Amino acid sequence: MNGWWRRRTHDQRVTILTILAGLPGVALSLGLLWLGDFAPRIRWTASIALVGVWTGVTVALREQIVRPLGTLANMLAALREGDFSIRARVGGGSDALSLAYLEVTCVPIKLSLTGVIFTNLIGSF
């Protein structure tokens, strides 16, 4: 399984882990719902709602993880190509993602200051 897991992309691993995290609760809920003494209409309605919420949470969690990583990748690609005009919106948070955005945003400032210092040093000779 280790080789199988490593061949999956990061997006696929996030989705698989999200599905697996909700699987026990959904399976237990569906089992109790279908084994209990409920009307067929209640069973089908609750089953569809439960699976729908589970799917919605899976998609939302995947977007919350994958989209910011894509943004960081695009920012780093722009820096590599020499575009120093990029800036990320940093909301003042102290979580890891906010700090990563802050650090990537500070790179162009640092590079421009280094260029100014280097230009002044070269110009003085």
- Secondary structure (H, E, C), 23-36: HHHHHHHHHHHHHC
| Interval 105-116: pLDDT, tens | 887 777 666 655
Sequence-ordered list of residues with C-beta below 8 angstroms from that of 46, at least 6 positions apart, any chain: 33, 38
* Of 42 and 85, more confident: 42
| Interval 28-73: pLDDT, tens | 999 999 999 999 999 999 999 999 999 999 999 999 988 888 888 8
**d(C-alpha 19, C-alpha 31), whole Å:** 17
pLDDT above 90: percentage of residues in the chain = 39
